[in-house]
Amino acid sequence: EAQVTQNPRYLITVTGKKLTVTCSQNMNHEYMSWYRQDPGLGLRQIYYSMNVEVTDKGDVPEGYKVSRKEKRNFPLILESPSPNQTSLYFCASSFGMRLNTEAFFGQGTRLTVV
Amino acid sequence: QQPVQSPQAVILREGEDAVINCSSSKALYSVHWYRQKHGEAPIFLMILLKGGEQKGHDKISASFNEKKQQSSLYLTASQLSYSGTYFCGTRGVTGGGNKLTFGTGTQLKVEL
């Protein structure tokens, strides 16, 4: 089954404790991205990657890091999480290096930073 | 800069029609539409590319006016299953053309 898998689904952590949210897709997609969703603000893109070793900032990259060492994986790293990073996070992937095709979203990771 | 969606929320009776608008201040290459049900991941509806086209599937269609940098999503003869939050995403012609910027969403509720 074609899918984007995020882990964990839920996470509660403390301020400053480094964490990684994993994202994996099995569709051989080139384009992958991370979004955060907050009430009233919609989906905001954090980082995106057009292919292996090619990443770029989205609209709200501050406080986040990503890497794309393999085509299928695109982890989101919070080196020193703060309470304002409490949010619902989605990973998405799509075919091709351009945004011309459907994006498939993971089921989301609800992160709480206390 | 996020596109502006209107209305922010709408309540329909089953069978009624609705239009959701998406407007951007920058020149657009494409407009993407997604629907999200509460607690779930967004689901793709359609993409409209530069060229001013109109697309549709089933009773949901959309138009893209690139000169006005606007897109509209049309929901005809709404069904209960249409309830959810609708997001438009825009990709600009210049300046980060591989970023997808979503609007803040339109909450649609269809009632019996």
From CA B73, how far away is CA B90, in angstroms rounded? 14
What integer pLDDT is reported at residue B1 of this predicted model?
A: 81
**Do residue A102 and residue B99 have CB atoms under 8 angstroms apart?**
no
With cut-offs at 50, 70 and 90, classify the pLDDT of residue A96. Answer: confident
What integer pLDDT is reported at residue B49 of this predicted model?
A: 85
From CA B48, how far away is CA B52, in angstroms rounded? 8
Mean confidence (pLDDT) of chain A = 94
Chain B residues touching residue A102 (CB < 8 angstroms): 44, 47
Helix (H) or strand (E) holding A61: none
Tell me the DSSP string of chain B.
Answer: -PPEEE-SEEEEETT--EEEEEE-SS-EEEEEEEEE-TTS--EEEEEEETTT-EEEETTEEEEEETTTTEEEEEE-S--GGG-EEEEEEEEESSSSTT--EE---EEEEEE-
Q: Span A99-108, mean pLDDT? A: 88
Q: What is the mean pLDDT of each run of 10 residues along chain B (112 residues)?
A: 94 96 91 94 91 73 90 94 95 75 95 94
What integer pLDDT is reported at residue A54 of this predicted model?
A: 92
Q: Span A20-36, mean pLDDT? A: 96
**Nearest in space to B70 (alpha carbons), one of B108, B110, B20:** B20
Q: Span A94-112, mean pLDDT? A: 87
| Neighbour-count burial of A32, counting CB atoms closer than 10 A to its CB (0-12 exposed, 13-18 middle, 19+ buried) | buried
Chain B residues touching residue A30 (CB < 8 angstroms): none
Of A6-10, A92-96, B72-76, the range with the lowest mean pLDDT is A92-96
Given a cut of 80, is residue A106 above it in pLDDT?
A: yes
* Residue pairs spanning A and B at CB distance below 8 A: 60
